[in-house]
Chains A and B, each alone.
Chain A
Amino acid sequence: MQSLTASRHPPRRDPAPSRWAYRTQRWMLTPIFRAFLFRGLPLMLVLGGAALWVGHEPNRDALIATLTELREKFESRPEFQVSLARVDGASEALAEVVRAKLGLTLPMSSFDIDLEAVRARIETLDAVKSADLRVRSGGVLEVVITERMPVAIWRTEDGLTLIDDEGHRVAGLISRSDRPDLPVIAGEGADKATAEAIALVAAAGPLIPRLRGLVRMGERRWDIVLDRHQRIQLPEKNPVEALERLLALDHAQDLLNRDILTVDLRSDRRPTLRLTPHALAEARRAQGLETVENEL
């Protein structure tokens, strides 16, 4: 009576890992091996595959073409199109010039506009002090111009020039009578000291009706030229104070209405007057002095 169920469970062998299973497990427990297997190897495979693919010339070209196309498609979307340029803060004539100077064929993508270059181009214009460019929503390129304001007329051998308070040229001028409100300055290096000239004109006050202009002497000091060929020679330092002292003197003694050619204020200790030759002779005669008048 053999049991039918006995042979269903054959005697179990002792489980033992094979040598290779044992070694594999030990490798897998080695941290550096695990790092290599799970990080290094996949990374190498991916990088190697990518390098192989890119190494093939047509693939590379196709990749570059695809990327370029994507980029262009994105840049040419209507959201980024600039169709209008608006110039603010400039006079009509200047706005026309600025528009011409932009040099952009609108509409174009805002990615293609080099705002820095355009700004530099606009700022080469004499009449523009600074320009501020920005692309506003709605595809508008806004150009905000700060104009140079002329404060004086500079007379040179070449003609008349309007200059601003920094001495920078603003525009040319055909005739003095076009801008009677601005003072005239002359002389070499006069444009570099425009601010001082403006301060002198502002301080001149009661002399304004008689003021013909200011002359820069030797690129270091100013002469004020009045009508009747009168000339006020100002010192190098503190010319405004010297002028104010002269005005006080004039107010007290009515100096400038007399027959005087030059008031020399270059020495701050005393003003020196130069009479006209006729007045000088008269004065001497009144003092009882006879002078020998000659050509010299």
Chain B
Amino acid sequence: MTDLYTSQRAMRNMRKAAMQRGVVAILDVGTSKIACLILRFDGPEHLREQDGVGPMAGQSQFRVIGAATTRSRGVRFGEIAVMNETERAIRTAVQAAQKMANVRVDHVIACFSGAEPRSYGLAGELDLQDSVVTEQDVSRVLAACDVPDLGVGREVLHAQPVNFALDHRTGLGDPRGQIGHRLAVDMHLLSVGGDVVQNLLYCIKRCDLELAGLASSAYVSAIAALVEDEQELGAACIDMGGGATGVSIFMKKHMIYADSLRMGGDHVTSDISKGLQIPLALAEKIKTRHGGLYATGMDDREMIDIGGDTGDWETDRRQISRTELIGIMRPRVEEILEEVRAALDAAGFDTLPSQQIVLTGGGSQIPGLDGIATRILGQRVRLGRPLRVQGLPQAATGAAFASAVGLCLFAAHPQDEWWDFEIPADRYPARSLRRAMKWFKDNW
């Protein structure tokens, strides 16, 4: 546990160094595209109230000064499958963004969608020594949480205190300084496959960059796509990416559940490709230009050339109607949404007071998706586009950039994680020098 603590701490320190440098790169490693944004932090650090407990609360303003996106290579289901190819793709994106920004970046904050995230709700309780809650008490109660068995080779990606309770009062954002006897905490812990993280780390290291933060793409795209009251009242964000669909549920401005389905827009493309016997690139083109989910009479008459390079006249002059295309796409999209529904049900989303669902990500741009999602997921569905951030090029403001934009916001205003609090003194390894120092201080 201390290993995780130190590695995440090291990442936080790196992030602090990047903040001092004023320039940090944002890297969204997706299945269909790799996006790199370069942020310059220029404003003074504004302290915002009710942001959280620890030292991460309140951060600076930023501006996007470089943006580049490239076709992703070697990534499947949001996980790196071919290291060299992915490294080259990251290099391409970073180089183009650096060229646009005309600065060199050394620190990168990355997100990825795959690696089978699993959510755990943790609870911890502590009897306070004296009746006032101190920062040490907060750390101690966080340490008192029972960490479940995560499984072999899994690592903690996020561990955020969601709720504090003091005696019978619950829903406290910041319990410090309050008076009570028993402090309890609810923590949300997200674990991912460790080898996926290691692969990403290796690729980033090969690009001469240093990792200053790591986030789940389901989490960050929800930050970008959910508006503030949705985050407060409770909402689910469905990030429909190329190879994976991220699901995250927010409540009281904290993520309480996240999941990732290994299905996405690429599956729709491959369905088209297989169904029409055309190459993937052409299938992707047809999907984006003519795709849809609701067939009308008009669509019967709209014929799409699908061509071919066989030399056979009949094959090269093939045409399909748009209705046929919709007939291929719709079952797959429905299947994805059914899976999402299942994931939401498993998370107990239907018990939440507000059941807002926001669809975002590149896959959410299919015309008619909101209609179909309403039928499958529930009545309150909307399509979400990421928040506007300063300096972002017009081309990068679409729903496909939700996780990149969310990562910008995450870089600027990170939530307190478990490792942002001091290790409670009694959890240090035995014979620690600091423990000895504390003993001296207490007794002399």
A23 to B98: give the CA distance in the assembly, Å: 12
Identify which of B89, B102, B208, B309 contacts A14 (C-beta below 8 A): B89
Q: Which residues of B contact A21 (CB under 8 A)?
A: 95
Q: Nearest-CB distance from B304 to chain A (Å)?
A: 20
State the interface size on chain A (CB cutoff 8 A): 16
A29 to B66: give the CA distance in the assembly, Å: 14
User: Cβ of B103 and Cβ of A16 under 8 Å apart?
Assistant: no
User: Cβ of A14 and Cβ of B104 under 8 Å apart?
Assistant: no
Identify which of A1, A17, A29 contacts B91 (C-beta below 8 A): A17
User: Cβ of A14 and Cβ of B88 under 8 Å apart?
Assistant: yes
User: Cβ of A1 and Cβ of B311 under 8 Å apart?
Assistant: yes
User: Cβ of B207 and Cβ of A14 under 8 Å apart?
Assistant: no
Question: Is B92 engaged at the interface, CB distance under 8 Å to the other chain?
Answer: yes
User: Cβ of A14 and Cβ of B98 under 8 Å apart?
Assistant: no
A26-B104 contact, Cβ under 8 Å, with A14-B70, A16-B89 = yes
Q: Which residues of B contact A29 (CB under 8 A)?
A: 98, 102-104
Q: Which residues of B contact A26 (CB under 8 A)?
A: 98, 104, 208
Smallest CB gap from A25: residue in B: B95
User: Cβ of A25 and Cβ of B73 under 8 Å apart?
Assistant: no
Question: Is A175 engaged at the interface, CB distance under 8 Å to the other chain?
Answer: no
User: Cβ of A16 and Cβ of B88 under 8 Å apart?
Assistant: yes
User: Cβ of B91 and Cβ of A16 under 8 Å apart?
Assistant: yes
Inter-chain pairs besides A1-B312, A21-B95, A29-B102, 12 sampled, C-beta below 8 Å: A1-B313, A16-B88, A16-B92, A17-B91, A17-B95, A19-B91, A22-B207, A22-B208, A23-B208, A26-B104, A26-B208, A29-B104
Give 5 closest A-B pairs by Cβ, nearest first.
A16-B88, A29-B104, A16-B92, A2-B311, A22-B91
A25-B311 contact, Cβ under 8 Å, with A14-B71, A17-B92 = no
User: Cβ of A3 and Cβ of B311 under 8 Å apart?
Assistant: yes
A6 to B310: give the CA distance in the assembly, Å: 10
Q: Which residues of A contact B89 (CB under 8 A)?
A: 14, 16
Question: Is A30 engaged at the interface, CB distance under 8 Å to the other chain?
Answer: yes
**Chain B, 305-332, contact with A by CB distance < 8 Å: what is the 0/1 string?**
0000101110000000000000000000
User: Cβ of A14 and Cβ of B95 under 8 Å apart?
Assistant: no
Question: Is B375 engaged at the interface, CB distance under 8 Å to the other chain?
Answer: no
Q: Which residues of A contact B313 (CB under 8 A)?
A: 1
**Chain B, 51-77, contact with A by CB distance < 8 Å: what is the 0/1 string?**
000000000000000000011010000
Question: Is B99 engaged at the interface, CB distance under 8 Å to the other chain?
Answer: yes
Q: Which residues of A contact B70 (CB under 8 A)?
A: 14
Q: Which residues of B contact A15 (CB under 8 A)?
A: 92
Smallest CB gap from B279: residue in A: A11
A6 to B313: give the CA distance in the assembly, Å: 15
Smallest CB gap from A27: residue in B: B104
A1 to B98: give the CA distance in the assembly, Å: 47
Q: Nearest-CB distance from B279 to chain A (Å)?
A: 10
**Chain B, 96-108, contact with A by CB distance < 8 Å: what is the 0/1 string?**
0011001110000
**Chain B, 248-281, contact with A by CB distance < 8 Å: what is the 0/1 string?**
0000000000000000000000000000000000
Q: Nearest-CB distance from A38 to chain B (Å)?
A: 15
13 contacts between A and B (CB under 8 A): A1-B311, A1-B313, A2-B311, A6-B309, A14-B70, A14-B71, A16-B92, A19-B91, A22-B91, A25-B98, A26-B98, A26-B208, A29-B104
Q: Which residues of B contact A23 (CB under 8 A)?
A: 208
A30 to B98: give the CA distance in the assembly, Å: 11
Smallest CB gap from A17: residue in B: B95
Q: Which residues of A contact B91 (CB under 8 A)?
A: 16-17, 19, 22
**Chain B, 164-208, contact with A by CB distance < 8 Å: what is the 0/1 string?**
000000000000000000000000000000000000000000011
Residues of B86-140 at the interface with A, using a CB-CB cut-off of 8 Å, are: 88-89, 91-92, 94-95, 98-99, 102-104
Smallest CB gap from B90: residue in A: A16
Identify which of B92, B207, B309 contacts A3 (C-beta below 8 A): B309
- Most-contacted residue by chain B among A3, A16, A19, A23 (CB, 10 A): A16
Q: Which residues of A contact B207 (CB under 8 A)?
A: 22
Identify which of B88, B99, B309 contacts A25 (C-beta below 8 A): B99
Smallest CB gap from B71: residue in A: A14
User: Cβ of B95 and Cβ of A22 under 8 Å apart?
Assistant: yes
Q: Nearest-CB distance from B345 to chain A (Å)?
A: 40
User: Cβ of A14 and Cβ of B73 under 8 Å apart?
Assistant: yes
A293 to B108: give the CA distance in the assembly, Å: 134
A15 to B309: give the CA distance in the assembly, Å: 24
Q: Nearest-CB distance from B33 to chain A (Å)?
A: 12
**Chain A, 23-51, contact with B by CB distance < 8 Å: what is the 0/1 string?**
10110011000000000000000000000
Q: Nearest-CB distance from A154 to chain B (Å)?
A: 89
A3 to B99: give the CA distance in the assembly, Å: 40
A3 to B92: give the CA distance in the assembly, Å: 34
Q: Nearest-CB distance from B22 to chain A (Å)?
A: 13
Q: Nearest-CB distance from A182 to chain B (Å)?
A: 92
Residues of A149-193 at the interface with B, using a CB-CB cut-off of 8 Å, are: none
Q: Which residues of A contact B311 (CB under 8 A)?
A: 1-3
Q: Nearest-CB distance from A4 to chain B (Å)?
A: 10
A26 to B99: give the CA distance in the assembly, Å: 9
Q: Which residues of A contact B208 (CB under 8 A)?
A: 22-23, 26
Q: Which residues of B contact A30 (CB under 8 A)?
A: 104
Q: Which residues of A contact B94 (CB under 8 A)?
A: 22
Q: Nearest-CB distance from A9 to chain B (Å)?
A: 11
A16 to B103: give the CA distance in the assembly, Å: 19
Q: Which residues of A contact B73 (CB under 8 A)?
A: 14
Q: Which residues of A contact B88 (CB under 8 A)?
A: 14, 16
Q: Nearest-CB distance from A64 to chain B (Å)?
A: 48
A14 to B33: give the CA distance in the assembly, Å: 12
Smallest CB gap from A30: residue in B: B104
Smallest CB gap from A23: residue in B: B208
**Chain B, 269-310, contact with A by CB distance < 8 Å: what is the 0/1 string?**
000000000000000000000000000000000000000010
Q: Which residues of B contact A17 (CB under 8 A)?
A: 91-92, 95
A1 to B92: give the CA distance in the assembly, Å: 39
Residues of A82-104 at the interface with B, using a CB-CB cut-off of 8 Å, are: none
Q: Nearest-CB distance from A1 to chain B (Å)?
A: 5
Q: Nearest-CB distance from B242 to chain A (Å)?
A: 16
A211 to B98: give the CA distance in the assembly, Å: 107
Q: Nearest-CB distance from A19 to chain B (Å)?
A: 8
Q: Which residues of A contact B95 (CB under 8 A)?
A: 17, 21-22, 25
Smallest CB gap from B88: residue in A: A16
Q: Nearest-CB distance from A23 to chain B (Å)?
A: 7
Smallest CB gap from B104: residue in A: A29
A104 to B70: give the CA distance in the assembly, Å: 87
A16 to B70: give the CA distance in the assembly, Å: 10
A14 to B82: give the CA distance in the assembly, Å: 15
A186 to B294: give the CA distance in the assembly, Å: 139
Q: Nearest-CB distance from A41 to chain B (Å)?
A: 19
